[in-house]
């Protein structure tokens, strides 16, 4: 029997390990294809299907996001679809936000975290189902007034990076999708370069959040090992064949799963 013990959380049966492998591989496939975050899949899976505390699920998810960012980001880097230099200011601000956000998690009631996560997942799921991946980007871009950014670029970069980091550390979302949108609509990146760069940036931002959560004791090392191995394989596969995968179809399938898990997370509060 395999047993990893940490903060009363144990991997002690084959069924749990199989669920972790499946969730990790699915998260790696999704994030490696078009950036995003493993948290939308892993956090509800860990809390609802396995019974982890929300704070532990958040810290564990951030650690897995870090692994995915490293693996998938390396593939995009090999294909010269990464340009980090113009985005360094986002990284610095994002790291600061992540450290602050991860401190808030430990002081937030469990029910409060579940409500925030549930609502966020429902919103993401509905958007992906209705619009797919590409149209979701177009819907968001139509609401962004780029003129606002031209005269205050430095301040905007700092504010956006800090906000992404804050959300990443607080609710466990590595920020890959938000970073990609910022790179596309604010910095004017091509979509492949935006995805590759956001994955590299996610490695640092999610890694900082994971380290902070680990310091607070909100992480499950055994789960990180199993999830990370599966997620790394999924990310390597999906990022390698990203141009051959129908991103919209995949996004809608994942959106349906995320929506259902978000609803279950909210319903679980009243059971």
pLDDT in tens, 215-249: 888 899 999 999 999 999 999 998 887 656 565 66
Q: Could you give the CA distance from residue 113 to residue 126 in angstroms, rounded to a whole number?
A: 20
Find the mean pLDDT for residues 51-77: 90
- The pTM of the full predicted model, rounded to 2 decimals, is 0.72
- In terms of average pLDDT, the best of 14-23, 146-155, 165-174, 193-202 is 14-23
Task: Write down the domain spans for the chain.
Answer: 13-270
* Range of lowest pLDDT (161-165, 169-173, 224-228): 169-173
């Amino acid at each position: 029997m395999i047993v990893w013990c940490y903060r009363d959380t144990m991997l002690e049966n084959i069924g749990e390990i199989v669920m972790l492998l499946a969730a990790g591989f699915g998260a790696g496939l999704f994030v490696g294809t078009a950036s995003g975050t493993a948290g939308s899949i892993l956090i509800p899976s860990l809390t609802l299907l396995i019974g982890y505390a929300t704070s532990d699920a958040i810290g564990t998810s951030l650690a897995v996001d870090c692994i995915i960012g490293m693996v998938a980001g390396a593939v995009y880097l090999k294909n010269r679809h990464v340009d980090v230099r113009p985005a360094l200011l986002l990284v610095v601000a994002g790291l600061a936000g992540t450290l602050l956000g991860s401190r808030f998690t430990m002081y937030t009631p469990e029910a409060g975290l579940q409500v925030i996560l549930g609502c966020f997942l429902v919103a993401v799921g509905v958007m992906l189902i209705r619009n797919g991946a590409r149209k979701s980007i177009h819907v968001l871009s139509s609401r962004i007034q780029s003129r606002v950014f031209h005269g205050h670029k430095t301040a905007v970069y700092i504010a956006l990076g800090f906000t992404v980091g804050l959300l990443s550390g607080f609710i466990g979302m590595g920020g890959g999708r938000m970073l990609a949108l910022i790179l596309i609509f604010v910095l004017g990146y091509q979509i492949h370069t935006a995805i590759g760069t956001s994955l590299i940036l996610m490695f640092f931002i999610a890694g900082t959040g994971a380290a902070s959560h680990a310091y607070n004791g909100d992480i499950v090392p055994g789960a990180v090992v199993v999830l990370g191995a599966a997620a790394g394989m999924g990310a390597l596969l999906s990022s390698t064949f990203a141009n051959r995968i129908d991103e919209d179809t995949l996004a809608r399938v994942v959106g349906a799963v995320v929506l259902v898990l978000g609803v279950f997370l909210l319903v679980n509060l009243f059971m």
